[in-house]
Amino acid sequence: MADAKPRIRLDRKEVRKGEAVEVKTLVSHVMETGLRHAADGRLIPRMIINRFTCELDGTFVFGCDLESAVSANPYFAFKFRPQRSGTLAFTWIDDEGTRIEATETVKVT
């Protein structure tokens, strides 16, 4: 399920200035904790998304560092008040440095 596209949903794509938009995201990732052992006793190395960010045309909107307690396929929802129209860029970065990226537009009237 690693190559599934991340999912982004805005509760509305067009808002008046000052109004809040709710953003929901869901991304497919194993989020291996690094604490589990395989059947042969070997430790399964940690492999998690360690950072999630959302930027509106380069301006930081929301982000966080993730730790190993977050379950597989992490889900984020947050609200923000866009000041201008633009493209929201979502980035998830995992321990191997793989970047999962997605974009969504928002219009401010």
Partner 1 sequence: MSDTRELVGWAKAAATHPRLCAGIAPVLIILLILGIASATAFAESKLAHPAWREHAIKAPGKEYPLQEIVSGLWFRTPETQAIQEDDFNNPGFFGVEEGEALWSKPEGAAGKSCASCHQDAAASMKGVGAVTPKWSDKLNKPVNLEQQINICRSEHMGAQPWAFGSNELTAMTTYVRFQSRGMPVALRVDGPMSPWLARGKALYYTRVGQLDLACASCHEKNHGKYLRADFLSQGQTNGFPVYRLRDQRLVPLHERIEGCVFDVRGTPYPPLSDDAVALELYLAWRGTGLPVETPAVRN
The footprint of partner 1 (CB under 8 A) covers: 1, 4-5, 7, 9, 24, 26, 28, 31, 71-73, 75
State the minimum distance, in angstroms, from the CB of residue 33 to partner 1: 11
Using DSSP's 3-state secondary structure scheme, residue 55 falls into strand
Q: For tokens 């970047």, name the residue.
A: 99
Return the number of the residue (44 or 84) whose C-beta is nearest partner 1.
44
State the minimum distance, in angstroms, from the CB of residue 3 to partner 1: 8
Diameter of the chain by CA atoms? Answer: 59
- Amino acid 99 reads R
State the minimum distance, in angstroms, from the CB of residue 96 to partner 1: 19
Return the number of the residue (73 or 91) whose C-beta is nearest partner 1.
73
- Selection from 93, 95, 90, 94 nearest residue 78 by Cα: 90
Return the number of the residue (1 or 39) whose C-beta is nearest partner 1.
1
Given a contact cutoff of 8 angstroms between Cβ atoms, the answer to whether 91 and 99 are in contact is yes
